[in-house]
Amino acid sequence: MRLEDNSRSSEEEYEETMIDNISSQIQVTTAAANADSPKASKDKAWQKAMEIEMDMIEKNETWELVDRPSDKPVIGVKWVYKTKLNLDGSIQKHKARLVVKGYAQKPGINFNETFALVARLDTIRTFIALAAQNG
């Protein structure tokens, strides 16, 4: 009994896989480069993503516009763009987020405390279980 030599089909399969991987990497790199460019805000897809983000900020009442106290500096914001991809590497959607430039804050000027209480997941589960048990 003779085993057939499958090395050629394996090589072809390897080549095809490598080409697919390289193609996906090029798409990801191109999408990331486009998202970081200043032109992104002028692109229709990114404009739509920014509109969706602003609508969600307003809907969720994330922040409100107030008058700035004359003795307080303004902390700026910036747009962060991300391209979400399908498994095949094609673009699923464009995601834009409006974020505060937290790195521009100065201790004692923009904030005094940095503590934020965070509950552990197992603590929350225990609390919910006790609440359900005790009605």
**Residue 127 covered by a domain:** no
DSSP assigned state of 40: G
Q: Tell me which of 83 and 8 has the higher pLDDT.
A: 83
**Residue 107 covered by a domain:** no
Q: What does the pLDDT look like over 48-87, one tens digit per residue?
A: 999 999 999 999 998 888 888 888 778 888 888 988 888 8
**Residue 112 covered by a domain:** no
Contact 60, 92 (CB under 8 A): no
DSSP assigned state of 79: E
pTM of the model: 0.52
Rounded Cα distance, 96 and 69, in Å:
29
* Alpha helices by DSSP H, the chain: 7-36, 44-59, 121-134
**Residue 49 covered by a domain:** yes
pLDDT at 33: 46
Band (126; pLDDT cuts 50, 70, 90) = very high
- Give the domain extent around 95: 7-102
Q: What does the pLDDT look like over 23-34, one tens digit per residue?
A: 555 544 445 545
CB-side neighbour CA atoms (13 Å) of 55 = 6
**Residue 30 covered by a domain:** yes
**Residue 82 covered by a domain:** yes
Q: Tell me which of 119 and 34 has the higher pLDDT.
A: 119
Number of structural domains in the chain = 1
**Residue 129 covered by a domain:** no
Q: What's the mean pLDDT when you consider all of the chain? A: 77
pLDDT at 14: 65
User: For residue 100, which of 83, 114, 116, 79 has the smallest C-alpha distance?
Assistant: 79
Rounded Cα distance, 11 and 14, in Å:
5
**Residue 121 covered by a domain:** no
